[in-house]
Structure 1
Amino acid sequence: MTPVEAAALGALSATAAVPSYDRAALRAGIVHIGVGNFHRAHQLVYLDELFGQGQAHEWGVTGLSVRLEDKGLRDDLVSQDCLYTVTEVSEAGADTRVIGALVDFVEPGNRAAMLAALTAPDTRIVSLTITEGGYYVSGDKPDLGHPDLVADAGNLDEARTVFGLIVSAIAARRTAGAPPLTVLSCDNLPHNGDLTRTLVEGLARAADPDLAAHIAQSVTFPNSMVDRITPATTPQQVEQLKAQKAIADKRPVFCEPFKQWVIEDRFASGRPALEAVGVTFVEDVTPYELMKLRILNAGHATIAYPAALLGIELVHEAMREPLVARFLASVETNYLLPASPSIEGVSREDYLATVTHRFGNPEVRDTTRRLCLDGSNRQPKFVLPAARELLARGEDVSGLALVSALWCRYAYGELEDGTPIEPNDPDWDTIRAAAIEARQDPSRFLAMRRVFGDLGEDPRYAEAFAGHLRSLWARGVRDTVEDYLRQKPA
């Protein structure tokens, strides 16, 4: 059994691809906040490929987390010289590679060390994968009055949030004359760069208007779109890596072969030439992100809730259930494709076919529970905007209302067979309380303005949602979805 560490790269090369470049020559030009599985399967893989071409060795990555619970992750990666494996899995087999693009990982909670990394003169990009729930969004806008942000604005020297740390670092860099930063969000949010700018500039404005003006003039916040299905690693996969590859990795990542990254080309102090490894740089990422958020992310929600309520635990098994597969096809073709933008040279229908194939990959072993996670943040980002757009055109939204009614039924906290659902949302208690009340009065769920905004007051949407929810309780998931499909086949 070969451990993942720098001294063992020669031995690891017998069963995995290993870095072909000199890691000692890498310099950290990027600080990344949120070194979870997705970042390690996505951005770090692209950079590893670029470094392997002999390019951009000044763009190594320092990892950072404000979450104390990430200390174990950090300690495990540091013990492996910041190396780890990524295994791409499909029916064709499993390809494993050792990723070397992470050069350091700051101890979570060590504010001085985090600021030192963020203010280092070589640091020119700060990137983020902090999940949809990390942006303090209420409705469709960030809540700058959130107590965490207000506390940071009142004392930047002790700022603890991601955005407070970034503002603190920018202030220190301005004083030191360091190069201006690019802050690059890589989370699944519409206009993620614009949202990040609003948070950073808004917090800075509350703390120091001159600093806010400096940020507006010198710091850039490109929007980006990222895509790669990357579930949480299971203990079985860790053992599988040992058995099949003779590799002992404390923090392996398993993902699908597909990956995509589209970025607006607005960088304050240069960037790595990632176009050489397949990254798409554009003037406006909006159509790409909308197509992905609607066809893929809203598609995930479409299959997640009916499958979970029926007791189906794995996504590829959900895709083999005819009812779920037909429901996905109907919602996609009748609602999500029409609400997705046209992009020159890109076929929405071909993209949907690729997405559907990816959902069915049996080797990824993605879970419906993961797709059901954090509905209170994901529904307003992925599903509800499509409903608003179609309503504005005067078109039907019954399928999208059913997706949200299925989420409400899931949030009640019981599967169809009565099995309890463990909390699966940062605001689970509030969501569940509303779902319980909605069993008798569906409008109680739609009254959550943080989620639905004014959509719940639109009689066309509210009537469709209420009818579906009543049917789910009276007749169950299968009959309700079948009734819908008779009216709206794919």
Structure 2
Amino acid sequence: MNVENYGYERKTVQSGILHIGVGNFHRAHQAFYNNQLLADKDQCKWGICGVCLLPSDEKVVNNLRAQNLDYTLTVCGRNGEDQIYQIGAIQELFWAVENPQAVLDKIAESAIKIITLTITEGGYNLDKITNKFILEDEKIQQDLKNPGHPTTVFGFIAQGLRQRRDLGNGSITILSCDNLQHNGNTAKNAFTTFIAAQDKDLAEWVEANVTFPNSMVDRITPATTPEDVQRLNKRSGIADLAPVYCEDFTQWVIEDNFIAGRPAWERVGVAFTNDVTAFENMKLSLLNASHLLLSYPSFLKGYRKVDDAMQDEDIVKYVRDFMNIDITPHVPAPEGQDLAEYKRTLIERFANRSVSDQISRLCFDGISKFPVYVMPNLVKMIQDSQNPVRVAFMIAAYRYYLKYQIDDQGLPYQIAEPWLSPEDKSLIASNEPTDFLGLSAFKSTNLKAAAHFVELYTQFVSDIKSKGVETVLKAIVR
């Protein structure tokens, strides 16, 4: 298959963006947009300097370095036709574990005008009830007391900005690309709280010299397994140690609030707006919430790939009813967006055989996802006396998924929940079903006080355990 090479000389490109969290989504989304834009010669100052902070990032760092930071991106078409791109937008790559000072120096560099982030929903260290930054966290306390030797993203950015200020290297924008409502406001809350607790003078400088635009990002990007690497490389004919693949749909909507300038991303399809709220609400409430809705029942039924689950008529109806009946009343369509078409496209995207996303990826870190994707609309549903049958079933399935770790087929599995608190683990272990409703993920409202919800949920808990997910789901959709 033909590979589309990038249309620029890498030696002419300068890093103007520092990105923290060089995972698959960043490389399929933001780096892809920049790769297309760098073909315009007047945009050559907007290359990306990648930064990895974690010990677990060693493999991706070594693999990308071994091939001059180039990699292939396979965009999987819903029509079965794929397009492969050679991506060269990442110009530099630092691993903080081996050289933390290089990361700090790069943040301080005058050519860097934007810091972008993909640090996951749980990475902003916010209390799930109050939405306040958790200053008491042990790693946060360590960074607050040792500004010159940071270990967290907050410590690195604070110290890097301190160096930047002291050098007189000017203003900068911090742009979150994580799936959070008002992600720019969230990032501002987290970083300014940390900085104010560490250095009041720096906090004043940040207030005047750093902006935090909100943004909405969208592109389904699975994890890449060793089998995927072989498959993708066979198609591209390139021995790529770090290939990425994704769906053909992509969207990026950004609040146009860049204090130190920005790339002309609008040339490659990025939409700029004064308010991203309607786009955020649509995407988080329909795509992300639907992903979560289908993940636990599908996994417990024995499915491991999203496209396989979407061949199951019961699961498709369950998702479609959730979008149409439960969520649409609470999602005003953004200007120029056809909501019915958006929902129809979502079903197509989930069922894309070429993407074949992992359900385990959707199940990952539910404790951080429920407060963002599900709870805001569940609260509205309860207030409006809507029937919460599908959400009650989802939460009962989530409990079973966490508690028993064995599916309907009798196959064991491991869960991945990095942000569970000791109290959460105790509530999961409890044999009293309503204790689970006190989980930190659900504390934005008192679910135990919603009598109809509790009645449905407790019945589903009992039925899933005695009859299995498949039987219970069939009764709900039919």
What TM-score results when the alignment is normalised by the length of structure 1?
0.92
Q: Is the 8 A contact 1:388 1:455 kept in 2?
A: no
Q: Is structure 2 residue 51 aligned with structure 1 residue 96?
A: no
Tell me which residue corresponds to 1:22. 9
Q: Is structure 2 residue 346 aligned with structure 1 residue 359?
A: no
CA distance in 1, matches of 2:397, 2:425: 13
Letter paired with 2:38: F
Matches within 5 A, 1:245-260: 245-260=236-251
Displacement after TM superposition at 1:428 (Å): 5.8
Tell me which residue corresponds to 2:368. 377
Tell me which residue corresponds to 1:126. 115
Q: Is structure 2 residue 186 aligned with structure 1 residue 190?
A: no
Displacement after TM superposition at 1:400 (Å): 1.6
- Does the residue aligned with 1:270 lie in a helix, a strand or coil? coil
Displacement after TM superposition at 1:450 (Å): 4.9
Matches within 5 A, 1:449-460: 449-460=440-451
Tell me which residue corresponds to 2:464. 472
Instruction: Provide Cα deviations, 1:220-270, integer angstroms capped at 9, x if missing partner.
Output: 001111011110112222222332332100000011111110110001100
Letter paired with 2:86: V
Tell me which residue corresponds to 1:3. none
CA distance in 1, matches of 2:47, 2:356: 31
Q: Is the 8 A contact 1:295 1:336 kept in 2?
A: yes
Displacement after TM superposition at 1:433 (Å): 4.8
Tell me which residue corresponds to 1:261. 252
Q: Is the 8 A contact 2:108 2:169 kept in 1?
A: yes
Matches within 5 A, 1:179-258: 179-258=170-249
CA distance in 1, matches of 2:441, 2:316: 31
Tell me which residue corresponds to 1:386. 377
Letter paired with 1:435: I
Change (3 A) 1:312 1:432: farther
Question: What is the number of residues matched between the two proteins?
Answer: 471
Tell me which residue corresponds to 2:62. 75
CA distance in 2, matches of 1:27, 1:300: 38
Q: Is structure 2 residue 317 aligned with structure 1 residue 330?
A: no
- Which segments of 5 or more consecutive residues in structure 1 lack a partner in the other structure? 1-13
Letter paired with 2:217: V
Displacement after TM superposition at 1:55 (Å): 3.6
CA distance in 2, matches of 1:228, 1:204: 32
Q: Is the 8 A contact 1:138 1:451 kept in 2?
A: no
Letter paired with 1:83: D
CA distance in 2, matches of 1:432, 1:416: 23
Q: Is structure 2 residue 410 aligned with structure 1 residue 418?
A: yes
1:161 to 152, 155, 163: 152
2:126 to 127, 132, 137: 137
Q: Is the 8 A contact 1:139 1:453 kept in 2?
A: yes
2:48 to 61, 69, 75: 61
Over aligned residues, Cα RMSD in angstroms? 1.7
Q: Is the 8 A contact 1:63 1:102 kept in 2?
A: yes
CA distance in 2, matches of 1:55, 1:467: 62
Displacement after TM superposition at 1:406 (Å): 1.3
CA distance in 2, matches of 1:480, 1:83: 48
CA distance in 1, matches of 2:419, 2:207: 33
What TM-score results when the alignment is normalised by the length of structure 2?
0.95
CA distance in 2, matches of 1:256, 1:345: 23
Q: Is the 8 A contact 1:411 1:432 kept in 2?
A: no
Q: Is the 8 A contact 2:170 2:209 kept in 1?
A: no
Tell me which residue corresponds to 1:435. 428
Q: Is the 8 A contact 2:75 2:248 kept in 1?
A: yes
- Does the residue aligned with 1:266 lie in a helix, a strand or coil? coil
Q: Is the 8 A contact 2:113 2:260 kept in 1?
A: yes
Letter paired with 2:53: V
CA distance in 1, matches of 2:475, 2:76: 37
Change (3 A) 1:334 1:312: same
- Which segments of 5 or more consecutive residues in structure 2 lack a partner in the other structure? none
Letter paired with 1:127: T
Tell me which residue corresponds to 2:94. 106
Displacement after TM superposition at 1:125 (Å): 0.3
CA distance in 1, matches of 2:309, 2:469: 14
- Does the residue aligned with 1:127 lie in a helix, a strand or coil? strand
Tell me which residue corresponds to 1:6. none
Change (3 A) 1:485 1:92: closer
Displacement after TM superposition at 1:469 (Å): 1.7
- Does the residue aligned with 2:38 lie in a helix, a strand or coil? helix
CA distance in 1, matches of 2:180, 2:38: 28
Tell me which residue corresponds to 1:342. 333
Q: Is the 8 A contact 1:374 1:424 kept in 2?
A: yes
Deviates more, 1:277-286 or 1:136-145: 136-145
Displacement after TM superposition at 1:405 (Å): 1.5
Instruction: Provide Cα deviations, 1:147-203, integer angstroms capped at 9, x if missing partner.
Output: 222222222112211111111111111111112110000011111111110111101
Instruction: Provide Cα deviations, 1:423-462, integer angstroms capped at 9, x if missing partner.
Output: 221146855653342xx41111112235434333332433
Deviates more, 1:235-244 or 1:51-60: 235-244
Displacement after TM superposition at 1:483 (Å): 2.7
Displacement after TM superposition at 1:399 (Å): 1.9
CA distance in 1, matches of 2:440, 2:74: 41
